[in-house]
Amino acid sequence: MKNPTLGKRLAAEFLGTFWLVFGGCGSAIFAAVAMGKTGDGQPFQVGIGYVGVALAFGLTVLTMAYAVGHVSGGHFNPAVSIGTAIAGRTPWKDVLPYIVTQVIAGLVAGAVLLLIASGKPGFSATGNMAANGYGANSPDGYSLVAALVIEIVLTMFFLFVILGATDARAPKGFGPIAIGLALTLIHLISIPVTNTSVNPARSTAVAFFNGAGAPGQLWLFWVAPIVGAALAGVLYKALLGSGADTSDRVEEGQAN
């Protein structure tokens, strides 16, 4: 079977990254702390909270990995593209086009989210666009060092799951499930620390719309995920082999 053209693979990456940002960040913006009213008009919390947001991010990856992972490999994340290239799964010539496409797709999704959110009277984007951050911008006030460490560690293990679940020796067809559940778990761990990135495109997508210091902290959410992904790529290949499929099919389900 002939591999899809670069144009088709980039289209798949655009769709997948858009969906990840739109679904994941959208759940945080619109539904995390939504309020309802009782019959006598008293307000009460009906939002999905941290657990719901974590599930939303996991579901975006799971669904798009099945939908387009067979076309592009389903990276949806610059760190994944770099990590899989280091592990010998992705051609280096594809990495830059993938990253550019992922960032553009994320920014488009962020702009659409801002457009929708602005339809509510009184909405202010500043500090309310699900941006990542540390210090004063961390949901629970965690430091720069804490944010750096958790983003490196979680991205490294995320890449281990991706590389293992899509290894040619692994059971076929289950990769997206493992990857989606891994991303859900990652968010359950780290939303209070950084609002969870492990994905530079996701962080870039909303940082500039959010303001409130998020653009100035964006560097960490590029550096840490790339370092974590690179470590995973090197270690997986050294310890377990590349696990690359020797046929001409595109690797499936390498998502986020």
For 6-241, CATH number? 1.20.1080.10
For the chain, give the mean pLDDT. Answer: 92
Per-residue confidence band for 250, with pLDDT thresholds at 50, 70 and 90: very low
Whether the predicted pLDDT of 42 surpasses 80: no
> In whole angstroms, what separates CA 58 from the centre of its chain?
9
Burial 104-126 (b: 16+ CB within 10 A, else e): bbbbbbbeebbeebeeeeeeebe
Residue % of the chain over a pLDDT of 90: 87
* pLDDT tens, position by position, 123-156: 999 999 999 999 999 999 999 999 999 999 999 9
Confirm if 196 and 187 have CB atoms less than 8 A apart: yes
Mean local confidence (pLDDT), 224-237: 97
pTM for this model (two decimals): 0.92
Least confident among 12-16, 176-180, 242-246: 242-246
123 Rama sector, left if φ>0, alpha if ψ -120 to 50, beta otherwise: beta
Domains of the chain: which residue ranges?
6-241
> Which pair of structure tokens corresponds to residue 60?
């975006």
Confirm if 81 and 90 have CB atoms less than 8 A apart: yes
